[in-house]
């Protein structure tokens, strides 16, 4: 039982990270029908920004803030420069652009920082609290989960309680109608990409200090698992993305703890296939998501 409790907390912590990546992917997918394969590389880039700022200022929190701000601008620039003209192009075009951007960003990071794995300090202690000899969670785990919950809350309020959020949703669901109502759809798409990149940047800042380290390909595996979470959740729904991300984290944690760490990637695949067999459109499919 104690092992189960530990694995559950561990799964929730990593699941929160995958949820943030999934959220980033879903925010872009539902507005533009683009799967941003460069999302992980963008998070890697913002983590290098954080590392640089932290090294120069000796302040983790300035680095953390710099990563989120950098994510906002990188997301907006990537949409304007790389994807804007391809938003109505066939899916394959945008996939090629995303993969090309991924390769380009990793190459630039490699040239600037090298391929070495760099340590990145966590925000809080990673020593786990124990109850009756059972390891539970660390302060860093709490920070990770609360950060993602905070991100969800901010995005939730923005999207559902503000005029800008209403414009963003209208742009996502009916761009032509939104334009007729005076909504600057193109600007809001850019904002959506920027916010998605902030979510990705947060994921990078939360997962890289957990022993993963920072190197140009650091976020590749995290991106794959975040993508798994997004598909499990249904790709259409931000709530589904979070649920899918957390389920992915839990599945991997249980598989790693009970079967072996070699099996974790396979566990993600099994989860993906199992969910899609039962619900081909994901747990919160398009029609259900639109009734929320």
Partner 1 sequence: MTALLEVEAVCAGYGRAQVLHEVDLTIEEGSITAVLGANGAGKTTLLRSLSGLLKPWRGRVRYRGRDLLSTPVEDLVTIGVAHVPEGRGVIAELTVDENLRLGGLWRRGSTAKDETATAVRDVYALFEPLARRRNNPGHQLSGGERQMLALGRALVAKPSLLLLDEPSLGLAPPVTASILALLRHLRDETGLSVLLVEQNVHSALAIADEGVVVSLGRVVARGPAAQLKADEGLRHAYLGF
Contacting positions for partner 1 (CB under 8 A)? 163, 166-167, 169-170, 173-174, 176-185, 290-291
Compute the least distance from the CB of residue 240 to partner 1, in Å. 14
Closest CB to partner 1 among residues 169, 279 = 169
Both tokens assigned to 229: 């979470």
Report the C-alpha gap between 145 and 17 in whole angstroms: 8
Closest CB to partner 1 among residues 15, 240 = 240
Closest CB to partner 1 among residues 56, 290 = 290
Nearest C-alpha neighbor of 14 from the set 138, 127, 129? 138
DSSP secondary-structure letter at 128? E
Compute the least distance from the CB of residue 241 to partner 1, in Å. 17
Closest CB to partner 1 among residues 3, 187 = 187
Compute the least distance from the CB of residue 181 to partner 1, in Å. 5
Compute the least distance from the CB of residue 238 to partner 1, in Å. 13
DSSP secondary-structure letter at 131? E
User: CA triplet 118, 121, 127: central angle to 5 degrees?
Assistant: 125
Q: Strands 134-138 and 128-131: what pairing?
A: antiparallel
Phi, psi of 137 (to 5 degrees): -155, 165
Compute the least distance from the CB of residue 182 to partner 1, in Å. 3
Report the C-alpha gap between 117 and 281 in whole angstroms: 38
Compute the least distance from the CB of residue 31 to partner 1, in Å. 12
Closest CB to partner 1 among residues 118, 286 = 286
Compute the least distance from the CB of residue 187 to partner 1, in Å. 10
Closest CB to partner 1 among residues 167, 230 = 167
Q: Which residues pair with 118 in a beta bridge?
A: 214
Report the C-alpha gap between 253 and 247 in whole angstroms: 10
Q: At what angle do helices 139-161 and 238-258 cross, to 10 degrees?
A: 160
Q: 10 Å Cβ neighbour count for 58?
A: 9
Distance from CA of residue 214 to its chain's centroid? Answer: 16
Phi, psi of 174 (to 5 degrees): -150, 75
Closest CB to partner 1 among residues 183, 201 = 183
């Amino acid at each position: 039982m104690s092992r189960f409790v530990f694995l559950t907390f561990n799964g929730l912590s990593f699941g929160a990270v995958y949820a943030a990546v999934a959220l980033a992917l879903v925010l872009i997918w539902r507005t533009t029908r683009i799967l941003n394969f460069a999302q992980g590389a963008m998070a890697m880039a913002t983590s290098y920004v954080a590392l640089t700022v932290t090294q120069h200022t000796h302040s983790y929190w300035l680095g953390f803030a710099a990563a989120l701000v950098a994510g906002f601008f990188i997301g907006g620039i990537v949409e304007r420069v790389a994807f804007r003209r391809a938003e109505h192009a066939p899916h394959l075009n945008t996939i090629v652009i995303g993969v090309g951007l991924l390769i380009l960003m990793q190459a630039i990071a490699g040239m600037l920082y090298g391929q070495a794995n760099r340590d990145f300090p966590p925000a809080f202690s990673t020593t786990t609290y124990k109850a009756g000899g059972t390891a539970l969670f660390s302060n860093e785990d709490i920070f990770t989960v609360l950060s993602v919950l905070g991100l969800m809350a901010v995005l939730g309020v923005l999207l559902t309680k503000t005029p800008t959020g209403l414009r963003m949703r209208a742009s996502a669901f009916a761009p032509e109608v939104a334009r007729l109502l005076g909504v600057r759809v193109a600007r809001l798409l850019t904002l959506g990409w920027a916010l998605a990149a902030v979510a990705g940047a947060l994921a990078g800042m939360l997962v890289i200090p957990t022993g993963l380290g920072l190197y140009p390909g650091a976020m590749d595996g995290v991106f794959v698992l975040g993508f798994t979470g997004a598909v499990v959740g249904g790709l259409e729904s931000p709530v589904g993305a979070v649920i899918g991300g957390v389920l992915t984290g839990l599945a991997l944690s249980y598989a790693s703890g009970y079967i072996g760490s070699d099996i974790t990637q396979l566990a993600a695949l099994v989860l993906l296939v199992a969910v899609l067999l039962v619900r081909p459109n994901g747990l919160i499919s398009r029609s259900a998501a639109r009734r929320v």
